[in-house]
């Protein structure tokens, strides 16, 4: 561990990884509480098309991801009125975007390695400027959540009453998806498009099981997220060149499973029930 | 067109048609039962199976079918209470994807040929479908079609109104399980054509588009089959003409079925909604196509 920290690329990976773990866990909490798990799975895959398009035109993948995921989050908001339609339109948007990504990479010669780097993630080649972009975006996401904390919770747990009291529920829902889109775009380099989902769902799913107070859940999720990513990067470096995302997914699952089994009795009330005792 | 006589083309054409035909009815029930996310989980678990099998030197479709069937039984147990289980499904899905990523990265690191073969698992490669893959797809399709023909009415009833169906003595739990198994087989064969990542292009999009066009279940299944077979044939045809050589089949299929869905959503009355027969308890199986 000590000697590992000497390498600049590992320092960069850990810095970048900690940032994305925090934003992933925070936005993931709201995503899960709103029943938007599938959107969390689809947005990274949609981002894959953006990354592939960016590679084709010679821009940094993260900018292509920004464009595609933000557009897709507007699309998801516009297409899905109820859960059934939303799942279907998310599925269709996702497969179309993946097809587009395939086309872009096919046009770009020598594509197999690129496909793997974007889909599976790679901690090699994260530069200081990447860390800077990630850090600044993380601060923006955290500021967004802190500033809108109360209305965000209100609109998440009791949208009908929130709307009646004048909270702009629709605007908040769109803003949240845009924040998720930004988070996803930042996370792809470390986690890869296929498993950014783990970062959104893993820590939050465990935290929601362990505590009902939103503020405690959010802090716990962020702490778990950082622990998973550090664990994943350490194991990935120790293993040679296996992907970080596999280790993060395994750790997340290994922590979630016992927690889920031990808290089985209290499952039914967690979603949609506003934590009445939250102060 | 001497290409039409080549074995590569024949295998691709036959497998593509078979898979598209089976995907239509299974996809229709998937949309009707609002299991799009479960379908997603099933194929991601199958992905771990496919890549694990390849690592062991077994055919990827065999691994995918085997693991999908086991996962289907697990999801079948859950499925009556599937709604609101997104988080649990999501966690299993994420772990399965992690395993798939691990297997595929170990395998693809071993040689450049393996690396591009891995991309074929992810995105499909109709032009490398062999005779044995074709036979597996055909066997699966016959099994799925025969089972669906037998359970069509009760499955439709249970999908549209599970509470009433159960009250009338329809074995909804058994049907959920059976449907999940059919879905597992169909997903695994779809991977031959469009790869793990694009399965929704054959399963979900054509069926969702068809359900927007007509409320009659049989009509919707027919329209879904037309869309999926049409998209597959056009995708394959384009890959064989010089102009379209750079258009991967998976891209063409996913783009055409997404367009079909968007058009259906724009034209369908009442915007985006999955068409349901109006009075399921009376009209199951005999609903007329409503003028839409």
pLDDT tens-digit readout, A59-76:
888 888 889 988 888 888
Share of chain B above pLDDT 90, in %: 15
Q: Is residue B277 part of a domain?
A: yes
Closest by CA position to B120, among listed B70, B59, B66:
B59
Q: What is the pTM of this model?
A: 0.80
Q: What is the mean pLDDT of residues B53-66?
A: 82
**Domain count of the fold of chain B:** 1
Task: Show residues of chain B in contact with A116, CB under 8 Å.
Answer: 104-105, 108, 115, 118
DSSP letter (8 states) at residue A270: S
Residues 126-185 of chain B with CB under 8 A from chain A are none
For testing contact with chain A, the best of B33, B94, B106, B257 (most A CBs within 10 A): B94
- Domain residues for the domain of B195 are 2-283
With CB atoms and an 8 Å threshold, state whether A99 touches B115: no
Region for B279 from its dihedrals, namely left if φ exceeds 0, alpha if ψ lies in -120 to 50, beta otherwise = beta
Tell me what pLDDT residue A251 has: 93
User: Rounded CA gap, A74 and A24, in Å?
Assistant: 19
With CB atoms and an 8 Å threshold, state whether B272 touches A116: no
What are the structure tokens assigned to A102, written together?
Answer: 């395939």
**Nearest residue in chain A measured CA to CA from B102:** A246
The span from the first CA to the last CA of chain B, in angstroms, equals 41
Rounded to two decimals, the ipTM of the complex is 0.80
Which of A240-249, B10-19, B188-197 shows the lowest per-residue confidence on average (mean pLDDT)? B188-197
What are the structure tokens assigned to A108, written together?
Answer: 């770009």
Task: Show residues of chain B in contact with A104, CB under 8 Å.
Answer: none
Facing residue for B246 by CB, picked from A79, A107, A247: A107
Q: What is the mean pLDDT of residues B148-160?
A: 89
CA distance A199 to chain B (A): 9
> CB distance from B258 to chain A under 8 Å?
yes
Q: Is residue B263 part of a domain?
A: yes
For testing contact with chain A, the best of B86, B122, B208 (most A CBs within 10 A): B86
What are the angstrom distances between the C-alpha of B146 and each of B22, B42, B119, B149, B263? 11, 22, 33, 5, 32
pLDDT (tens digit, 9 = 90+) per residue, A88-135?
888 888 888 888 888 887 787 666 677 777 888 777 778 888 888 889
Residue B146 has a CB neighbour count (10 Å cut-off) of 10
| pLDDT tens, N- to C-terminus, chain A (279 residues) | 566 777 888 888 889 899 999 999 999 999 888 888 888 888 888 888 888 888 888 888 888 888 998 888 888 877 766 656 677 888 888 888 888 888 887 787 666 677 777 888 777 778 888 888 889 989 999 999 898 888 888 888 888 888 888 888 888 888 888 888 888 888 887 788 888 888 899 999 999 888 888 889 999 999 999 999 999 989 988 887 788 888 999 999 999 888 888 887 654 444 444 444 433
CA distance A184 to chain B (A): 15
Read out DSSP for A190-224? Answer: HH-TTTHHHHHHHHHHHHHHH---HHHHHHHHHHH
With CB atoms and an 8 Å threshold, state whether A81 touches B36: no
Tell how far CA B60 is from the center of its chain.
17
CA distance B76 to chain A (A): 19
Q: Is residue B232 part of a domain?
A: yes
What are the structure tokens assigned to A13, written together?
Answer: 């990976």
User: Longest C-alpha distance within chain B, in Å?
Assistant: 60
Q: Is residue B246 part of a domain?
A: yes
Q: What would be the CATH architecture of the domain defined by A4-266?
A: Orthogonal Bundle (1.10)
What are the structure tokens assigned to B250, written together?
Answer: 């998976």
Closest by CA position to B68, among listed B98, B48, B90:
B48
Task: Show residues of chain A in contact with B86, CB under 8 Å.
Answer: 32, 35, 37-38
> CB distance from A85 to chain B under 8 Å?
yes
CATH number for position B114: 1.10.3470.10
Tell me what pLDDT residue B225 has: 93
Residues 26-65 of chain B with CB under 8 A from chain A are 31, 34, 36-37, 39-40
User: Rounded CA gap, A18 and A226, in Å?
Assistant: 5
pLDDT (tens digit, 9 = 90+) per residue, B81-117?
655 567 778 888 888 888 888 888 887 777 767 777 7
With CB atoms and an 8 Å threshold, state whether A194 touches B97: yes
Tell me what pLDDT residue A224 has: 95
Tell me what pLDDT residue B11 has: 85
Facing residue for A96 by CB, picked from B255, B265, B272: B255
With CB atoms and an 8 Å threshold, state whether A201 touches B204: no
pLDDT (tens digit, 9 = 90+) per residue, B208-257?
899 888 888 898 999 999 999 999 999 888 887 776 667 888 888 889 99
């Amino acid at each position: 561990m000590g000697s590992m920290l000497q390498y600049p690329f590992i320092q960069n990976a850990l810095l970048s990884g900690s940032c994305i773990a925090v934003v992933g866990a925070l936005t993931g909490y709201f995503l899960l509480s709103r029943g938007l798990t599938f959107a969390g799975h689809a947005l990274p895959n949609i981002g894959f098309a953006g990354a592939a398009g960016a590679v084709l035109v010679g821009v940094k993948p993260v900018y292509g991801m920004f464009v595609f995921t933000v557009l897709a989050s507007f699309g998801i908001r516009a297409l899905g009125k109820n859960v059934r339609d939303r799942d279907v339109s998310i599925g269709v948007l996702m497969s179309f975007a993946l097809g587009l990504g395939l086309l872009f990479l096919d046009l770009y010669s020598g594509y197999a390695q690129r496909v793997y780097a974007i889909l599976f993630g790679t901690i090699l080649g994260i530069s200081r400027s990447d860390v800077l972009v990630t850090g600044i975006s993380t601060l923006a996401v955290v500021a967004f959540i802190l500033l809108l904390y109360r209305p965000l919770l209100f609109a998440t747990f009791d949208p009908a009453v929130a709307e009646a009291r004048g909270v702009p529920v629709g605007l908040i829902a769109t803003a949240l998806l845009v924040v998720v889109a930004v988070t996803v775009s930042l996370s792809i380099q470390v986690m890869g498009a296929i498993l950014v989902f783990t970062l959104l769902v893993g820590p939050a799913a465990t935290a929601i099981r362990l505590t009902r107070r939103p503020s405690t859940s959010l802090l716990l999720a962020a702490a778990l997220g950082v622990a998973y990513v550090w664990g994943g990067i350490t194991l990935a470096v120790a293993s040679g060149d296996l992907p970080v995302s596999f280790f993060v997914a395994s750790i997340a699952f290994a922590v979630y499973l016992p927690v889920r089994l031990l808290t089985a009795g209290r499952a039914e009330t967690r979603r949609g029930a506003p934590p009445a005792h939250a102060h | 067109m001497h290409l039409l006589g080549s074995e590569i083309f024949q295998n691709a054409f036959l497998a593509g048609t078979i898979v598209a035909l089976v995907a239509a009815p299974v996809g229709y029930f998937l949309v009707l039962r609002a299991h799009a996310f479960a379908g997603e989980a099933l194929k991601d678990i199958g992905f771990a199976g496919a890549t694990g099998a390849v690592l062991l030197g077994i055919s990827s479709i065999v691994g995918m079918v085997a693991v999908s069937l086991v996962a289907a039984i697990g999801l079948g147990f859950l499925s009556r209470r599937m709604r609101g289980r997104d988080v649990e499904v999501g966690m299993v899905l994420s772990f399965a994807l992690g395993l798939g990523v691990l297997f595929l990265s170990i395998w693809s690191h071993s040689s450049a040929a393996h690396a591009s073969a891995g991309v074929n698992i992810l995105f499909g490669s109709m032009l490398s479908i062999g005779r044995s893959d074709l036979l597996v797809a055909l066997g699966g399709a016959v099994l799925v079609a025969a089972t669906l023909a037998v359970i069509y009415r009760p499955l439709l009833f249970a999908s549209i109104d599970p509470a009433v169906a159960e009250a009338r003595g329809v074995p909804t739990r058994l049907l959920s399980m059976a449907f999940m198994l059919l879905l597992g087989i169909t997903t695994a064969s779809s991977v031959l054509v469009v790869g793990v990542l694009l399965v929704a292009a054959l399963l979900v999009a054509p069926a969702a588009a068809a359900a927007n066009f007509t409320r009659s279940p049989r009509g919707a299944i027919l329209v879904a089959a037309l869309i999926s077979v049409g998209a597959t044939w056009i995708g394959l045809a384009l890959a064989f003409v010089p102009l379209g050589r750079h258009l991967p089949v998976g891209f063409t299929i996913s783009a055409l079925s997404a367009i079909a869905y968007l058009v259906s959503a724009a034209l369908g009355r009442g915007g985006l909604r999955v068409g349901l027969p109006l009075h399921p308890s009376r009209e199951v199986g005999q609903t007329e196509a409503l003028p839409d």
